[in-house]
Structure 1
Amino acid sequence: MPEGHSVHRIARQFALHFVGKPVAVSSPQGRFAEGARMLDGHVMTDARAVGKQMFLEFEHGLWLRVHLGIYGAWDFAGDITADATIASANGRMGQTNQRGTVVGAFEDSLSSIGAPRRTRLRMAEQEKLEAPLESFPPDPVGAVRVRLLTDVTCADLRGPTACDVLGPEEVQAVIDKLGPDPLVDSPKKAEERFTETVLRKPTPIALLLMDQSVVSGIGNVYRAELLFRARLNPHTPGRDVPEELVRALWKDWSKLLKIGVRTGQMLTMDGLRGKAYEAALASRADRHWVYHRTGLPCRVCGTPILMEEIGGRKLYWCPVCQA
């Protein structure tokens, strides 16, 4: 499932290429025909992400809400931009199993995107730059729930968990149920809200970090890595975690989320330079402390990394460093 950094990057693509333009909205699959009719022909006025949810606003006050879930993805085509970090990656940027070699400058995303190119870009849990287009707009491929089309750019949505047309009050009601997002909420208020919530819960911290009503955007990868970086036992009840450590978790999440949005990768190891940094961008094996490293030696103490099921999801941790 895409984690927070991916959804923020998708919202950025819409902000760059759709906001301020009239958009033709259709449902090639047919399952969103009525919703498409309500949005068709209107100018997109805003694109924003909160955690794992994205909201696209149109001039007449209606919003398109999308939650990609496990299987959802956006395919962009036409005159779009693509970060230098995926320009030559033989894999999908942002996913934990990216393959291939990454070259080019690794600047801040908004400045490294360069000139638009007529091509395809798939954005979900991962990002994949595909072959240049031969014609525009491309024919829909597969079960496209929603197609958003301007004169030069196309975005196709497949397989989302949620895809709804909402009014402003309904959008706010959805957002009100979500925990704080470091890229959306006031830093001080967000930290206080997160800290207060965690410290009153008997729930294990590993489950709290995945609860989108506690904090927005954290998924399985960031959860494992944040807990290791904090040297925190994942089974510790939230109310038993020292307050200073809860606050440190929030600050670290804010830091890692910003890195993820900037690079398109869930980079969770600090101090990487030169070839080590390029290797981390290209391969999960060089990118994470504990995630997906079952049985491999801890990078700090050498103890085999454990994997267990908690809340229906896989949890990776070091039983010594996080004792």
Structure 2
Amino acid sequence: MPEGHTLHRIARDLTAAFAGTHPVVTSPQGRFAESAALLSGRRFDHAESWGKHLFAEFEGDLWLSVHLGLIGTFTIDESAYVGEVPVVGQVRLRLRTDDHVADLRGPMVCELVTPDRVEAITATLGPDPLRPDADPDRALTRIQRSRKPIAELLMDQSVVAGVGNVYRSEVLFRNRVRPLRPGQQLTSRSWRAVWDDLVRLLPLGVATSRIVTIEDQVEDVELRLAAGEDVTQDWRESYVYKRAGEPCLRCGSRIRTQVVAGRNLFWCGNCQRRG
């Protein structure tokens, strides 16, 4: 499932491509045809995301609400075609201007909603580390009232919005937090360290479209972005994610794995003892 940085990147790119335009909106697949007809020709104002939810505002107080789920994709391309643009796959929604084509495929949610519905959805979500209005203390309150392990709480979108399986495994390792520690036993200091790390790492995911967590790589990306350089390297190494049974990069102990919140969690039992 795409993590929060992916949705923020899509929202950023949709806004850059379509803000202020009046795109033709269609549903080649047909499942969104009626709503697409209502949106077609209306001014596209902006797109934003909250966690794993994407919202796009059109004139007339109409909002497009999208959740990609496990397999959804939303691609934005510069149009290189004259006339009709070929439809590849099951395209639920298409936005098109003379300059760009955006295709939504395989979403879990694609619906036309009112501003009240947008508010109702976001009211169910925890703070998003990528949003400037995020309040980490809201999440801490929920965490310290719960007996569930912190690794499960990080995947609960009502506690923290946008964190998925890769970031939860990696950020808990980076801050040496024992992932199975009950939330009510997590110290405020440990939570703030985890939150601040998410605030640091997630924007790098938006900028590079990659999850970067190895510290020397993180520092390299930060320097290159600050210098205005293009960052195109494909990082694949992680501290613990998908490294079960392999030696820990810090201490050499074997990386452990266990299903937590329906996904495989990875951690080092020797390094991760804090909380």
Normalised to the residue count of structure 2, the TM-score between the two structures is 0.91
* Residues 39 and 134 of structure 1, relative CA distance in 2, 3 Å threshold: closer
1:181 CA drift (Å): 1.0
* Residues 223 and 281 of structure 1, relative CA distance in 2, 3 Å threshold: farther
Alignment-derived partner of residue 284 in structure 1: 236
3-state DSSP of counterpart to 1:271: helix
1:242 CA drift (Å): 1.1
3-state DSSP of counterpart to 1:195: helix
Alignment-derived partner of residue 178 in structure 1: 125
Pick from 241, 265, 283 the counterpart of residue 186 of structure 2. 241
Conserved in 2, the CA contact under 8 Å of 1:46 and 1:58? yes
1:32 CA drift (Å): 0.6
3-state DSSP of counterpart to 1:314: strand
Percentage identity across aligned positions? 44
1:262 CA drift (Å): 1.9
Alignment-derived partner of residue 169 in structure 1: 116
How many angstroms apart in 2 are the aligned matches of 1:279 and 1:26? 34
Alignment-derived partner of residue 296 in structure 1: 246
* Residues 227 and 233 of structure 1, relative CA distance in 2, 3 Å threshold: same
Pick from 160, 172, 180 the counterpart of residue 107 of structure 2. 160
3-state DSSP of counterpart to 2:215: coil
Conserved in 2, the CA contact under 8 Å of 1:46 and 1:56? yes
* Residues 185 and 200 of structure 1, relative CA distance in 2, 3 Å threshold: farther
3-state DSSP of counterpart to 2:204: helix
Please tell me whether residue 61 in structure 1 is matched to residue 61 in structure 2.
yes
1:37 CA drift (Å): 1.5
Pick from 285, 296, 306 the counterpart of residue 256 of structure 2. 306
How many angstroms apart in 2 are the aligned matches of 1:246 and 1:264? 26
Pick from 237, 254, 271 the counterpart of residue 199 of structure 2. 254
Please tell me whether residue 71 in structure 1 is matched to residue 23 in structure 2.
no
1:183 CA drift (Å): 2.4
Alignment-derived partner of residue 228 in structure 1: 173
AA at the equivalent of 1:317: W
How many angstroms apart in 2 are the aligned matches of 1:174 and 1:143? 26
Larger RCO (alpha carbons 8 Å, 6+ apart): 1
AA at the equivalent of 1:203: K
1:279 CA drift (Å): 11
1:271 CA drift (Å): 2.5
Conserved in 2, the CA contact under 8 Å of 1:194 and 1:250? no
How many angstroms apart in 1 are the aligned matches of 2:99 and 2:84? 8
Please tell me whether residue 203 in structure 1 is matched to residue 124 in structure 2.
no
1:270 CA drift (Å): 1.3
AA at the equivalent of 1:283: W
Alignment-derived partner of residue 227 in structure 2: none
- Which sections of structure 1, spanning at least 5 residues, go unmatched? 80-132
How many angstroms apart in 2 are the aligned matches of 1:304 and 1:223? 19
Q: Paired residues, what number? A: 265
How many angstroms apart in 2 are the aligned matches of 1:241 and 1:76? 41
Q: Which digits, 9 at most, give the CA deviation of each residue in 1:193-227, with x for residues without a partner?
A: 12112111111100000000001100000000011
Please tell me whether residue 50 in structure 1 is matched to residue 2 in structure 2.
no
Pick from 96, 110, 127 the counterpart of residue 149 of structure 1. 96
3-state DSSP of counterpart to 1:165: strand
AA at the equivalent of 1:151: D
Q: Which digits, 9 at most, give the CA deviation of each residue in 1:243-272, with x for residues without a partner?
A: 110111111111111121122211111123
Conserved in 2, the CA contact under 8 Å of 1:308 and 1:315? yes
Normalised to the residue count of structure 1, the TM-score between the two structures is 0.78
Conserved in 1, the CA contact under 8 Å of 2:208 and 2:231? no
How many angstroms apart in 1 are the aligned matches of 2:161 and 2:122? 10
* Residues 313 and 274 of structure 1, relative CA distance in 2, 3 Å threshold: closer
AA at the equivalent of 1:226: V
Alignment-derived partner of residue 21 in structure 2: 21
Conserved in 2, the CA contact under 8 Å of 1:137 and 1:154? no
AA at the equivalent of 2:169: A
